[in-house]
Chains A and B, each alone.
Chain A
Amino acid sequence: MPAEPVLLDTDTLSELSRGNVHVNTHARTYLGAFGALTISAITVFERLRGYRLAIQQGKPFHRQLQAFEALVGTCVVLPFDADAADVAASIWSACTRSQRQNIGDILIAATAVARQIPLITRNRRDFEVFIRSAGLSLRLMDWSKPSRAPRKTP
């Protein structure tokens, strides 16, 4: 049983949408405890723009877009606020030019750090780069693997 709320990054939500068994199991347990998934407004933006672009290109994904919007309606959506912006600026300035290209990850990591909650990601390496570069206090967990105790990254 999770002890505290966690933030799902975009890839974890995508894995859940694809039916990843391990992510699904973790999510079911988490929902049993907290009643709602927590995602960031950045993730909402990333997914919505994908649907809207595909629909603009004539692809018939209106039904999937509606399902996503309904899903978002059940989630706690953390805004990218002034505290997160402050953290994001610190991460961005500490990163190399190539690392800065992962701007979505920077904004999501900053949201988790500003709220002091763990981030659920299957791209641990990408976020560990930010942790090392900017000296962040960010806990990372991976739901795409079988249950394991959370690891605190220095």
Chain B
Amino acid sequence: MRPASCKTSPLLSRTDPGWGLHQSETRLACIDTPVWYVFGVSRSALAHEVTVARTIRFPASLRDRIAADADRCGRSFESQVLALLRRHYGADVDIAPSPPEILALAQASLADVPDADARLITRKLRDRER
């Protein structure tokens, strides 16, 4: 079920009608107990499509089968799921980075940059620039 606020947002309807599922499903995950995994689909940042985080619920029986296959193949559970998706759909599938990973990238983008250079890098576009 999507939050009510999602129904009228052009952003949601244009990019992905299901965006918002993650939030409600995460809440459900606290009530039920199955294992939940968050995956994302990485695409070109400048393409019209966007990266969408998804939460996937695996029933216990399926989880056990995947875990057994993963064990046989010497992979982690997540790697096994990714391998299956990649084999079926192609290589453009990956695990969405976690919030700390995203925040670390943001900080690494200006790490060790002197203040004067950081100002140059982050300055906003103005008319009559030289």
Contacts and interface: CB of A to CB of B under 8 A. Distances in A.
Interface residues of B, number: 50
Given A18-B118, A50-B122, A117 B9 contact: yes
B106 interface: yes
Contacts of B40: 35-36, 74
Contacts of B113: 61, 64
Contacts of A69: 45
A3 B5 contact: yes
Contacts of B10: 114-116
B22 A46 contact: no
B80 interface: no
B23 A4 contact: no
Contacts of B109: 17, 47, 64-65, 67-68, 71
Interface string A1-41: 10111000011011011110000100110011111111001
A28 B100 CA distance: 7
A141 B16 CA distance: 24
A46 B45 contact: no
Residue with the highest number of chain A CB atoms closer than 10 Å, among B23, B42, B99, B128:
B99
B110 A44 contact: no
Interface stretch (B48-56, B64-72, B82-90): B48-56
Contacts, number: 159
B46 A31 contact: no
B23 A34 contact: yes
B18 to A, nearest CB: 12
Interface residues of A, number: 62
A11 B125 CA distance: 11
Residue with the highest number of chain A CB atoms closer than 10 Å, among B110, B124, B127:
B124
Interface of B: 3, 5-6, 8-12, 14-15, 19, 22-23, 38, 40, 42, 45-46, 48, 50-53, 96-97, 99-103, 105-113, 117-118, 120-128
22 contacts: A3-B3, A4-B3, A11-B122, A18-B107, A31-B102, A35-B53, A36-B50, A36-B51, A64-B108, A64-B111, A67-B105, A68-B109, A69-B45, A70-B105, A72-B45, A74-B40, A74-B51, A75-B45, A77-B46, A104-B126, A115-B14, A117-B11
